[in-house]
Amino acid sequence: MASFDIVSKVDPQTLENAVNTAKKELQTRYDLRDTKGGIELDKKANTVTLTSENSMRVKALEDILLTRVVKQGIDGTALDFTAEEQANGALIKKVIKVRAGVDKEAGRKIIKAIKDGKVKVEAQMQDDQIRVTAKKIDELQAAIAILRRTDIGQPLQFVNMKS
């Protein structure tokens, strides 16, 4: 039986490079020169923290970060910008989660998209990835084509193809 895995992960070194480049741009931008706070990456929690004096500057930091992440080749949907801003003394802080792994809701969307595509494959959740199996590789490639056209809300990688 042929199979492949669907995963969602971000290379930590590439993300760190994007954050460091965003920090350098923050130092050189004239409109953000005297900004207190900045951009910090927490590798263990897999989050990026933005801090500044007001929400307008936090929004500018978001734009800088997103631009740098996309230029490094990371899909922009890997960052979860839905978190609310929190006041922390004189600074406003926003924590952005980096999506890693396929969560249950996204897994259901993926499995539903495969079933709606009427391809003869089996998809099953395994922790933070989905294993797709079929009798022929052509059917697996059809499932990949369906998923590439479908918007799941996070980047997907297709790995571990076996025949």
d(CA 94, CA 88): 10
Q: What's the one-letter identity of residue 138?
A: D
Full-model pTM: 0.80
C-alpha 10/C-alpha 76 separation (Å) is 11
Buried b (16+ CB within 10 A) or exposed e, 12-38: eeebebbbebbbebbeeeeebeebebe
Termini Cα distance of the chain:
6
Residue 163, pLDDT above cutoff 90: no
Q: How confident is the model at residue 140 (pLDDT cuts 50, 70, 90)?
A: confident
| The pLDDT of residue 114 | 87
| pLDDT tens-place string over residues 25-66 | 888 888 777 778 788 989 888 899 988 888 888 888 889 989
| 28 alpha-carbon distance from chain centroid | 27
Q: How big, in percent rounded to 5, are the helix, strand and coil portions of the chain?
A: 40, 30, 30
Distance CA 59, CA 52 (A): 10
| Nearest residue to 77 via CA among 160, 142, 154, 159 | 154
pLDDT for residue 17: 92
